Structure 1
Amino acid sequence: MWVLFVNCSKVISSRNIRYWYSYHPVTCRSTKDSFVYAVLLNAKLGQLSDTVESVAPSCAYLGIIPASGCSPGYILSSDDDVVDVRAIARVGFAVSFPFTARQWKLSKIISTCLADSTRHFKAQFNGASIWGKASSVIWSEMYFLRCLYATSGRPELYWPILGLLSAIEIVKYTIVLAILLRFVLAPLAVWIFLAHRYWKTWITINAVEKFLRMQETVGPMRFAYTDIVAITSHFRDKLGQGGYGSVYRGMLPGDVNLAVKMLCRSMCNGEDFISEVSSIGQIHHVNVVRLVGYCSEEPSRALVYEYMPKGSLDKYIFSRKEHFSWDKLSEIGLGIARGIDYLHRGCDMQILHFDIKPHNILLDSNFVPKVADFGLAKLYPRDNSFVPLSAARGTIGYIAPEMISRSFGVVSSKSDVYSFGMLLLEMVGGRRNAAPNPENSSLSYYPSWVYDRLTEPRELGQTSAAAAADMHVLERKLCLVAMWCIQMKPQDRPTMREVVRMLEGGADDPQTPPRPFFCDEEHNPVGDSHHFYSKLTSVLEEDE
């Protein structure tokens, strides 16, 4: 900056736009006939001659002084301009000799520019706005770089210093980003995750609550969680443990026994809960367990059933201590078939159980069987011939082939027929279908062995009396019905209504069915059939 003094023959207004610079009167040097003005210039030393020639025509040049480090508004800060000019003159000015800068040590150059950039940063940061503060933080290193380049006169230092400053900038921005991630983005991500979880939970709870409110008018009773605790006497008497939770014995006033199934948290999602309540909430059949009530208070859900004092069927058919007569076994098999037939045909929507097995057949005090555990059940219109393969779930050993692969057929009510056939075979033989015979390890697949027993007398030319002596008539009847039910193709199996008719029939045996694929000795020996069956079950486990 430069302060130019001129002597003019007439008054010049600082607002006169004809001149390039603002003219400020110096009253101590002005007279009636001559007027002295000070003009603040911003020009390089080589441009001063051009600047002096551009003053007003009525003015003559008096002198010029440097105003080192002052701003354009500094000389305008007071009415007494002479005092300000004197103050500028007292400050003095720096004279630099660029040709000697090469002789400076690099450490001195760096320290000089560092001090200069520090002063510049403080001046900008203290008096600037928020945006100016941020700008001073971001560009402070670049000011240092420009100072270093101008002071040293050594261009070869530019790129090394630029690289160093770039590294500093990267470190600085990395630290800033880490702080943002730690204190801003991380809490924000956690908040979004929790909000999403809360929203999904709220949607599920809302759907369940809407369904239960509709169910209260026509369905079973709704219990509060405190009622469940009181009914079960704080869950004192545990009846058993299943995949969907624990079952406790409960009692209502009037000595009404109940079975309370507390659903575990991992399995009590809204879909399975609604499936079970909607499946059996409206069912009243002698061979289907009755749902007395339910509880739905997050995070606890419970299903309250009528109490079955004799427990599940598997406790009897696989036990060496408990044995049923053939009449009783036939009666139990018929009751189970009637219950499944009612699920398929007796409701507005057909109910496919998908998990028929001895563990899910409960017995009352008179050993009347009741189909239970509808956690996997699905509702479908009765005119549907098949259901999606995605609905195919169940227990290994009872699951139909089409539930594993569509190459065997479509999933339908015939899938429950297959499971019932496997159940009948276990009731007759007292052993599990997929387990090897402990007495004879060569009989690897139980249904194949049963079919051999059914057909062997005829193949050997034995009389019917000899066959009857070898196998009880009801045993043979149950086995024949079971073989019809486990045919590999769904269209070859009877419906549950036809199964009920076969079991209700007189002494005449049903016709001998074709040999199931798993029992085909000609193409698949007994040992191989078990191997193939195990392969299918492994496929199912992978899908699950």
Structure 2
Amino acid sequence: MDEHNHIHMHIPMLLTSIVILLTTLPQSYCDFDYSVCKERPYNCGNLSDIFYPFWGQNRPLQCGGGGQTFELKCHDDDNTTILIGSQNFTVKEINTNAQTMRVVQTDLVLNFCSPQFEDTYVNSTQFRYSPSVYNITIFYDCLRMTDFPHGFGQNFTCGDVLSYFVVEYDEVLSNEFPRCKRRSHVPAEAPLDYTAPGAGYNNLIQVIDRGFEFRYDVSQDCTRCLGSEGECWSDCNDIDQNVLSCYYCPDGSHALHCSPSKSEHNISRKIIILLGVASVVIGGFMICIIICCSKYWPTDQVKFWLTIKRNRDIESFLENHGALTLKRYKFSDVKKMTNSFNIKLGQGGFGSVYKGELTGCPVAVKLLNSSKGHGEEFINEVASISKTSHVNVVTLLGFCLEGSKKALIYEFMHNGSLDKFIYSKGLEATPSLSWDNLWQIVLGIARGLEYLHRGCNTRILHFDIKPHNILLDENLCPKISDFGFAKLCPRKKSTISMSDARGTIGYVAPEVWNRHFGGISHKSDVYSYGMMLLEMVGGRKNINAEASHTSEIFFPHWVYNRLEHDSDLRPDGVMAIEENEVARRMTLVGLWCVQTIPKDRPTMSKVIDMLEGNINSLEMPPKPMLSSPTRSVPKSPIS
């Protein structure tokens, strides 16, 4: 009884010991001395110092990667083979830095004409052909051909059997061959000269014996490990899963990369501290310089030197673009010709315009704001207009660049800008234009824009076509002005890139503020022109800032609906048949110009044809999509 109880007392202890033994067995079984991987590279014949991911001979399996895939077998201490898929390859060289391996199929080396020789076919995720590898197709045991396709290959014999090899083979070419008993494909890489007389079996053997190149992949983790002077090896519990460890580090085994040694760590720490202290000292010194300069160096002097630099940049630009051929005036001359800026004609986005007199003729002088931009608008105006000479483009007579003062001298336009003639001004008694006048103005602007887009050596894109920027001379001849937003563009270039949107709200093409609509091009000016055309027909602005949100609608839709329902396009009085035809023609052209997608818009040359052609040939354009900030529709007829 006592003995029986004694046995029962020891059973729990025995079970615990068995569990501990079973638990620790794999670890004991896999207690692998990983240092041998560094000490035992693979060496065989001309292959030497081959490390991860390869293993074989005296290099253990754990020193390789990908399980059995990268096993190398040494034969007679001279030749190395590797099994890829189900085929054996003789390894000629391995470049572990480039991760490439040059091989030749072993069957080809042993007996090229063997009937057991099969296609070289590789089905492996770890290996892939190099880009320079091509296939040679070999036809064995064939009937003799009397007319072999020239430039594709040559014939040879395997013993007494006639065969052919073809370099550029496809299924269509196979119809040219007589019946052959078998066919195989052999990868090759070296160039094969099959055009020389007698180039046959020997040349083919040399090329095939040279072999071809495989590429294999090593994980990025292992690459980082090797880069930190470690060595990769496979976890013995997960060899087939290619689980990596990084070892052979100064302080033992680590995952993925080796930690720096204690001395290296101390050196790195000292460098970081020194860099930090140096940064603080230099930063403090720079702050002191800035404070001293701002305190003792007047702001006006800073502005003065910045202005000089900008002016030098402008001078260089103007010289490179040939704009210095224009007459240049001193600021004292500008002040004199405007009688100290006595008569102000108007105010624009880039400055004020004053009336002046030059050699007895009236001129308009635009004095640019010194506080805006860095002279870009000045450069745009001078560089673009100095290249033009057209009756419908304003003439630039000269310029002034003196310190922060910049001015442009233009021909004087007696009738001012177009906007005052087409918008209702309440009690202002501005005479309205006849429909014939409007049509002539529209046609003149179109010709001016076509000239800017096609007539100059360098294409000029305006980017701010609107009634305010169309000036009228004493004969109501329109002149395109205000080139502050303009860009020069090579004629061969269909689109341009811009870092920011430019133009006036209501006239800006959709692609200028949203690139999803298409590229920015001369078609952007066409859109602005079309919107201006619709305003001239409707006698109102396409934007009404005072309109309530509930009354807002895309302006071209309002015009389109009136045209579609044969409503009066400009209900400010009874229109004659000829006037109604002019209004309808302008409306159709305007709607074509404001199409949302740039490619759907006509060029300015086509616009001129549409304006001058038969109105019956003008098709009804598609209804433009919503593409701009909301526009307002009038609550009551315009008078």
TM-score interval for Structure 1 and Structure 2 normalised by the shorter chain: 0.5 to 0.7
User: What is the one-letter code of the residue matched to 2:339?
Assistant: S
Question: What is aligned with 2:414?
Answer: 309
Question: What is aligned with 2:392?
Answer: 287
CA distance in 1, matches of 2:628, 2:519: 23
User: What is the one-letter code of the residue matched to 2:591?
Assistant: M
Question: What is aligned with 1:474?
Answer: 582
* 1:212 to partner: Cα distance: 4.3
User: Secondary structure of 1:517's match?
Assistant: coil
Match 2:314 to one of 204, 208, 224: 208
CA distance in 1, matches of 2:404, 2:552: 48
CA distance in 2, matches of 1:330, 1:300: 40
Judge which range, 416-425 or 218-227, deviates more: 218-227
Structure 1 position 491 matched with structure 2 position 596: no
User: What is the one-letter code of the residue matched to 1:258?
Assistant: V
Structure 1 position 360 matched with structure 2 position 465: no
User: Secondary structure of 1:516's match?
Assistant: coil
Q: Is the 8 A contact 1:238 1:249 kept in 2?
A: yes
Q: Which runs of 5+ in 2 are unaligned?
A: 1-284, 568-574, 633-639
* 1:184 to partner: Cα distance: 7.4
Question: What is aligned with 1:332?
Answer: 441
* 1:275 to partner: Cα distance: 1.3
* 1:440 to partner: Cα distance: 13
Match 1:223 to one of 329, 342, 359: 329
User: What is the one-letter code of the residue matched to 2:371?
Assistant: S
* 1:391 to partner: Cα distance: 4.9
CA distance in 2, matches of 1:425, 1:532: 16
CA distance in 1, matches of 2:423, 2:556: 16
User: What is the one-letter code of the residue matched to 1:307?
Assistant: F
Which structure would you say has the larger Rg?
A: 1
Question: What is aligned with 1:250?
Answer: 356
Question: What is aligned with 2:613?
Answer: 505
Q: Is the 8 A contact 1:260 1:302 kept in 2?
A: yes
| Residue pairs, 1:262-301, within 5 angstroms | 262-267=367-372, 269-301=374-406
Q: 1:183 to 1:409 in 2, by over 3 A?
A: closer
Q: Is the 8 A contact 1:436 1:443 kept in 2?
A: no
Q: 1:182 to 1:298 in 2, by over 3 A?
A: closer
User: What is the one-letter code of the residue matched to 2:610?
Assistant: M
User: Secondary structure of 1:390's match?
Assistant: coil
TM-score by length of 1: 0.57
Match 2:553 to one of 444, 450, 455: 444
* 1:506 to partner: Cα distance: 3.6
Q: 1:474 to 1:438 in 2, by over 3 A?
A: farther
CA distance in 2, matches of 1:261, 1:517: 38
Question: What is aligned with 1:514?
Answer: 622
User: Secondary structure of 1:481's match?
Assistant: helix
* 1:266 to partner: Cα distance: 1.7
User: Secondary structure of 1:362's match?
Assistant: strand
Question: What is aligned with 2:39?
Answer: none
User: Secondary structure of 2:363's match?
Assistant: strand
Q: 1:379 to 1:263 in 2, by over 3 A?
A: same
TM-score by length of 2: 0.49
Q: Which has the higher strand share?
A: 2
Match 1:412 to one of 504, 521, 544: 521
Q: 1:249 to 1:487 in 2, by over 3 A?
A: same
User: Secondary structure of 1:305's match?
Assistant: strand
Match 1:369 to one of 478, 485, 491: 478
Q: Is the 8 A contact 1:313 1:361 kept in 2?
A: yes
Q: Is the 8 A contact 1:244 1:268 kept in 2?
A: no
* 1:209 to partner: Cα distance: 2.3
Structure 1 position 423 matched with structure 2 position 524: no
Q: Is the 8 A contact 1:268 1:301 kept in 2?
A: no
Structure 1 position 319 matched with structure 2 position 424: yes
Match 1:236 to one of 342, 348, 354: 342
* 1:293 to partner: Cα distance: 0.3
Question: What is aligned with 1:392?
Answer: 501
User: What is the one-letter code of the residue matched to 2:354?
Assistant: Y
Q: Is the 8 A contact 2:364 2:411 kept in 1?
A: yes
* 1:479 to partner: Cα distance: 0.2
CA distance in 2, matches of 1:242, 1:437: 22
User: Secondary structure of 2:390's match?
Assistant: coil
Q: 1:271 to 1:515 in 2, by over 3 A?
A: same
* 1:215 to partner: Cα distance: 6.8
CA distance in 1, matches of 2:562, 2:589: 14
Q: Is the 8 A contact 1:398 1:422 kept in 2?
A: yes
User: Secondary structure of 2:340's match?
Assistant: coil
Q: Is the 8 A contact 2:323 2:386 kept in 1?
A: no
| Residue pairs, 1:20-59, within 5 angstroms | none
* 1:443 to partner: Cα distance: 6.8
User: Secondary structure of 2:352's match?
Assistant: strand
User: What is the one-letter code of the residue matched to 1:481?
Assistant: V
User: Secondary structure of 2:370's match?
Assistant: coil
User: Secondary structure of 1:247's match?
Assistant: strand
* 1:217 to partner: Cα distance: 7.7
Q: Is the 8 A contact 1:351 1:377 kept in 2?
A: yes
Q: Is the 8 A contact 1:311 1:364 kept in 2?
A: yes
User: Secondary structure of 1:303's match?
Assistant: strand
Q: Is the 8 A contact 1:360 1:371 kept in 2?
A: yes
User: Secondary structure of 2:616's match?
Assistant: coil
User: Secondary structure of 2:606's match?
Assistant: helix
Q: Which runs of 5+ in 1 are unaligned?
A: 1-179, 459-466, 519-528, 535-544
**Residue-by-residue CA offset, 1:338-392 (whole Å, 9 max, x unaligned):** 1111110111111000000000000000000000000000001011111114253
CA distance in 2, matches of 1:262, 1:376: 16
Q: CA RMSD in A?
A: 3.4
CA distance in 1, matches of 2:529, 2:540: 15
User: What is the one-letter code of the residue matched to 1:390?
Assistant: S
Structure 1 position 378 matched with structure 2 position 484: no
Q: Is the 8 A contact 2:328 2:399 kept in 1?
A: yes
User: Secondary structure of 2:356's match?
Assistant: strand
* 1:323 to partner: Cα distance: 1.4
**Residue-by-residue CA offset, 1:234-281 (whole Å, 9 max, x unaligned):** 11111111111111111112x211000000112363322111101001
CA distance in 2, matches of 1:440, 1:366: 41
CA distance in 1, matches of 2:315, 2:290: 35
CA distance in 2, matches of 1:390, 1:184: 34
Q: 1:192 to 1:509 in 2, by over 3 A?
A: farther
CA distance in 2, matches of 1:217, 1:334: 29
CA distance in 1, matches of 2:290, 2:509: 51
**Residue-by-residue CA offset, 1:390-442 (whole Å, 9 max, x unaligned):** 25311000001111111111111100000000000111111111228989985
User: Secondary structure of 2:417's match?
Assistant: coil
CA distance in 2, matches of 1:218, 1:296: 11
Q: 1:449 to 1:468 in 2, by over 3 A?
A: farther
**Residue-by-residue CA offset, 1:274-325 (whole Å, 9 max, x unaligned):** 1110100121100000000000001111000000010000010003642111
CA distance in 2, matches of 1:345, 1:533: 32
* 1:197 to partner: Cα distance: 6.0
* 1:510 to partner: Cα distance: 1.3
Question: What is aligned with 1:157?
Answer: none
* 1:509 to partner: Cα distance: 5.1
* 1:531 to partner: Cα distance: 6.8
Question: What is aligned with 1:50?
Answer: none
Structure 1 position 434 matched with structure 2 position 543: yes
**Residue-by-residue CA offset, 1:489-519 (whole Å, 9 max, x unaligned):** 000000111111111224435111111113x
